[in-house]
Structure 1
Amino acid sequence: MSQGNLIRPYGDTTGDGMVQVSFTLPMKHSKVADGAALQLANKMGMEPAMVVHSKPMGDDFTFFVVYGQVNHLVDVDKVQVVERDFPLLTPKEANAVIKETLRRPLVVVGACIGTDAHTVGIDAILNIKGFAGEKGLEYYKEIEVVNLGAQVSVPSLVEAAVTRRADAVLVSQVVTQRDAHLLNTREMSAAFREAYPAGERPLLVAGGPRFDESMTTELGVDRIFGRGTTPAEVASYLVHRTTAKEPAA
């Protein structure tokens, strides 16, 4: 149902408030477990609700899909997101800006830090194969990419950035148990603050599917990219920020 910018979820008919959620409970698969799932759904504001799927996940866990109705409204005017505030460039355009403005390659150091061994994210942005039909940063003639890979310690990342005179450091974090991605990112930003004089550190960019893009200040980084980010978006941001620092003479 729409009242100005107030909207309600859509299921079978407009504004009926129907939603579908999935979750796991630490219970053996049984009718009692189904009842517990319905109780949880009711406490979440779903009523009426029904368990449309339940499946044992090992001996002591059950996975559920619950379908039901909610009465909550969403005020679209109060939604806050991080919008792209820089132009989206093609590789040719990005190379031209770097060559004209920096007059040297833009150096990017990337890694998965801590115990995170999942390089799919960082490779999708850096490797020439890229992601979603777009070439990675290695494809850009005016970008020098240093991909350190997985399980890189923060001191090693800082050392590489200093040695290679990095303009930007990209960190991918996929492992999120016990907020490891947040702890690692805070440790990294603190280390770079200590290693560089004020105003001289490279751009710090964090990315991963569980990051909140609005947490840049809290985590001490310049930009956060979430799921679905493409190489062109990252390249365009880096070009926008780094070339603005050094206008052509």
Structure 2
Amino acid sequence: MTTTAGTTAGTGLVRPYGDTTGDGMVQVSFTLPLPHDKVAEGAAAQLAQKMGMDPALVVHAKAVGEGFTFFVVYGRVHHLVDPSTVEVVERDYPLLTPKEANAAVKEGLRRRLVVVGACIGTDAHTVGIDAICNIKGFAGEKGLEYYRELKVVNLGAQVSVPELVARAQEEAADAVLVSQVVTQRDAHLHNVRETVAAFREAWPDETRPLLVAGGPRFDETMAGELGVDRVFSRGTTPGEVASFLVHRLVTARRGATVGQAS
């Protein structure tokens, strides 16, 4: 759904913005298992109306293979949204430059921080894990391989959970990054839960690597539910991941040690 919000004066509530402020106009796209004809377009309009769009106008329809049609529908909704009730995961650590991250690791660990990354299960899409790990990076930022105080082991795609556990043990990993792009039938959630269970079985709590899950279909609020230490969703940059790793594995632990010593 593509929208731009307009504020309803005096209430703090917002509704979508299309042509004029607060007009409630939205655009949605979906595919129906119907051949492209007038009946299919009528079915698309009916679905949009049942979703709360009134009026609903089919502005685009195209056959996408035998027996399937892709639609774009434009119309008005009457729902209001209260931003004050929205739950999000705020970044609770500072963003560091590569130089700052390297200096923190060198001073705090006195060794390289070991990161193992993989795209697990049958998922063959390495775009996510490569964007974070590979030196070419993403969004104008260098990947984790660029950080001289990080040892990065990118296992690539279609890595089984036992393989990931074994390699993490072999490398004495401080952190494990699990990427999932293919998400049919919530495969990404199942695979991450399987990974968490395997790591809990293989390590005591106090020595287990930091577990981080990432991918475009993850909800960042699900870290606790999945059992991982952090979830990163779409648009995450290598700098954000590096800063989080340094915060949790170096800065926070040093602070806890100082507090205990005092």
1:62 is the counterpart of 2:69 = yes
Residue 179 of structure 1 deviates from its aligned partner by 1.0
Matching residue within 230, 246, 262 for 1:239: 246
Q: Unaligned regions of 5+ residues in structure 1, if any?
A: none
Q: Unaligned regions of 5+ residues in structure 2, if any?
A: 1-6
1:159 is the counterpart of 2:166 = yes
Aligned-CA RMSD value: 1.2
Residue 245 of structure 1 deviates from its aligned partner by 2.0
- Give the equivalent residue in structure 2 for 1:138: 145
Matching residue within 185, 194, 202 for 2:201: 194
- CA distance in 2 between counterparts of 1:196 and 1:118 reads 28
Residue 198 of structure 1 deviates from its aligned partner by 2.1
Matching residue within 1, 12, 15 for 2:19: 12
- CA distance in 1 between counterparts of 2:205 and 2:91 reads 26
SS of equivalent to 2:218: coil
1:218 is the counterpart of 2:209 = no
Matching residue within 72, 81, 88 for 2:79: 72
- CA distance in 1 between counterparts of 2:222 and 2:109 reads 29
Q: 4+ residue runs of structure 1 moved beyond 6 angstroms? A: none
Residue 203 of structure 1 deviates from its aligned partner by 0.3
- Do the aligned residues in 2 keep the contact of 1:102 with 1:246 (CA within 8 Å)? no
- CA distance in 2 between counterparts of 1:210 and 1:188 reads 17
- Give the equivalent residue in structure 2 for 1:117: 124
- CA distance in 1 between counterparts of 2:205 and 2:107 reads 27
- CA distance in 1 between counterparts of 2:246 and 2:148 reads 13
My pick for the range that moved more, 180-189 or 54-63, is 54-63
- CA distance in 2 between counterparts of 1:110 and 1:58 reads 36
- CA distance in 1 between counterparts of 2:158 and 2:57 reads 43
1:204 is the counterpart of 2:211 = yes
- 1:245 maps to a residue whose letter is R
- CA distance in 2 between counterparts of 1:105 and 1:246 reads 16
- CA distance in 1 between counterparts of 2:179 and 2:205 reads 24
| Cα offsets for 1:163-185 (capped at 9, x unmatched) | 11110000110010111111110
Aligned positions, number: 249
- CA distance in 2 between counterparts of 1:178 and 1:18 reads 30
